[in-house]
Amino acid sequence: MAQPRTSSHSGDAGTARIGSGARVRGRIHGEGDLVVEGQVEGDLAIRGELTVAQGASVTSEAIEARSVVIAGALEGDVAATGTVRLVAGSRVRGNLRGSSVAIDDGARFSGRLDCEFDLPPELGGASSRGEVRGRTAARR
């Protein structure tokens, strides 16, 4: 899985790593990338990419990052400006928001996905935003 090194787009900030034996309780925020291999309880606000490695676990109310890759366990809401990716073996519960959210076959997930896009006009276009249940479109 992703093991990001110093990320050039986040300036001089390097990669922070929370090792597999570590347990962190509290809020974490940073400029660069963060790789979590241990256990974290608390909110995360990362300017770069957040990676939750296999075997790691994150429990949070709010997670913000540029992009997110999850191979371990995560519980909490995720808001990414870029992509969110759940790889096979991950177990995630929470609401995910990003420019795109990918869930690999074999990932386990329960929660909402919220991507910004419009349906084609035949299906209601921009007016389809918000909660929609499986109803026949009322175009009689």
List contacts with other proteins (CB under 8 A): 57, 73-75, 83, 85, 91-93, 100-115, 117-120, 122-124, 128-129, 132-137, 139
Residue placing its CB nearer to other proteins in the complex, 11 or 102: 102
Residue placing its CB nearer to other proteins in the complex, 5 or 133: 133
Q: How far is the CB of 76 from other proteins (least distance, A)?
A: 11
In contact, 42 and 62? CB cutoff 8 Å = no
Query: Is the four-CA dihedral 95, 44, 33, 74 of positive or negative sign?
Result: negative
Residue placing its CB nearer to other proteins in the complex, 8 or 136: 136
What is the per-residue burial (b if ≥16 Cβ within 10 Å, else e) of 117-134?
eeeeeeeeeeeeeeeeee
